[in-house]
Structure 1
Amino acid sequence: MRSFCQPSRLLPLEQVVEIGFKCAMALGYVWRQGLIHRDVKPANILTAIDDQGEITDVKLSDFGSVLNFHSDATQVHRVGSLAYMSPEQLDGATLDCRADIYSLGAVLYHLICGRPPFEAETQGALLNLICHAQPLSLMGLREGVTEALDQLVRSALAKDRGQRPGGWEEFAQALSALITNHEVPRGRLQQVLDSERFNLLRSLEFFDNFGDVELWEVVHRARWMRFPYGHRIYRRGQEGNQFYIICQGEVEVFREGEKVAMLGTGTSVGEMAYLAPSPDLKRHSTDVVVSKAATVVSFTPDMLAQLKTETRHRFDTAFIRVLVRRLHAAHEALAHPRRIL
């Protein structure tokens, strides 16, 4: 990310926030493994760039300075890159995840305005600024920076770590909320961002048992689609080759013209395309029609086969829950037809 810290190459604000969210999620995973990176800086955030020159993903690198709480070996303290180090890191104090939160805040500050939070001609002067001075408001350094964005980044840079976000999940959610609540201007990235997709899936019961790593894989592998009211997702007799998980909206299920079910947010349709052992069983016995404009994620069996084993296992567990509920509903319908209808 170092090249995007130059004033002439600054990224759109929503992309900076998106990168911050992804880094926060990655560093949260690192923290849960009992590790502190201790050298979060632009040069250690690598970018994947497509043919159009757009950043498609970011990865953290250089774990040579990591502090491992599970290691019995002697570990050197006061390591890192000075411009992005927290005051407690400079003091040699006991560290927790908030040291890396400070460093990521310093990186975001640099990516937003083209300069680090503190600059000085000598190392001693820079140390003094990091420990005692307050960074300038970003609102005066770049057009379009909102008060909410400014406050969040500068809260990550608080001298007292107790005044920073309390953990990675809190920081990641606060970054995502900036986009959700339109607290950063949307420039050329008008599509749904990965942070929005991740949080949308995280809110669904179907993905309750998915860890962050597995959920990120779903975000990147799934095909995202929007269907208007009245769109027919499936027709009776059609052979299924994909299934859908409803993220927003509702669909109605019809058998021979009679409405038999309504499915809403968090439910799946067409899962037999994945589960059925023979082509005959993959043929739909109902019509499925959108009754409220819907956003869905779509998978084919081939796409699922490309997922990691652990992610496929999570899908299988979620499908079992779905099928058990539907069998129970069918049992209730047979036992108490008047109550169901």
Structure 2
Amino acid sequence: MDRRSFLKNSAIGGTAAAASTALAAPAYAQGKQTLTMVTSWGRGLAGVFDAAQRVADSVNAMSDGSLTIEIKAAGELVGAFEVFDAVTAGQADMYHAADYYFVNQHPGYAFFTGVPFGATAQETSIWYNHGGGRELHDELGQIFGLKSFIAGNTGAQAGGWYRKEITGPEDFQGLKFRMPGLGGAALGKMGASIQNLPGSEVYQALASGAIDGTEWIGPWADEKAGFQEITQFYYTAGFHEPGVALSVATNRDVFENLSPANQKIIEIASLETHQWNLSQFVSNNGAAVQRLQAGGVKVLEFPDTVWDAFADASRQVFDENMSDDLFKSIYDSYQASIKSVSGWTEISEAPFVSQRARVFG
């Protein structure tokens, strides 16, 4: 389905069609251009805002000042979850966010962040760069007038913070829990009341009792957010987001009006940030989890019965979306890439890591 047909037959058609005539061009001054980037992150939010800043700094440096990105944190121009609409409507030039915030626009966006029992960070990069993921991201973006690239990765995300231990699937009944994306939809199947909150609002919601638990990212970012001040039960392995990508999306008309060199600069800055940000998160998580434990946090793993319930609920969520042809195409491509990669890593890398731990400790 092309963009024109989709917009004509969708709820966003009127807004997008009106915006197409009102799109503000990037600011120009003596051959220089400035793009406004809106983000889903509070200013200074550990890791995720860093990724947005990294993209902007890299673009500014590589273009030698001919292209400048001006960042707006969540709430400075639009709200955290309004960035998608702001860019498609031409209110801003580009966004930095987690694309699974926008599954209501299309459920296929979940795969460009993270899905239950999905790809690790390395598997995500392989699928995106060599398994057709980038092309599918672009196909999805064309529907909404966006040009997108992955631009950050948190690595494996933690299972989250809870007010009490989880002993079985029944503990999710009525639990008010913050989790976006298809993982949140799966917890909803298990009876949880799912809250989709921006990162900057999660601490207050947990502290006030508005939610009973939350996932955010991992030990380093979670410690920075201060969740250990509220609850001491921390599940470090989660089913929902094993290798979470972040994305930059530029309004497609704006992107196509840039010079080929500046288009390439945005692409390179985004993909470089993906690897840089992954290293940032992983390098900080080990020390952070040790500090959390030393401070009294109880680090836990979900029992097998809960993992089984997670899997059953996740299958239901995937099945419910398979009637959408593009979702199914993305799902099939994604799963085929994971299976292709795991055929080697399970007999090479996995045994090596086990033996390294055995012989070197």
TM range (shorter): under 0.3
Which protein is bigger by CA-based radius of gyration? 1
TM-score, normalising length from structure 2?
A: 0.21
TM-score, normalising length from structure 1?
A: 0.22
> Which has a greater percent of helix?
2
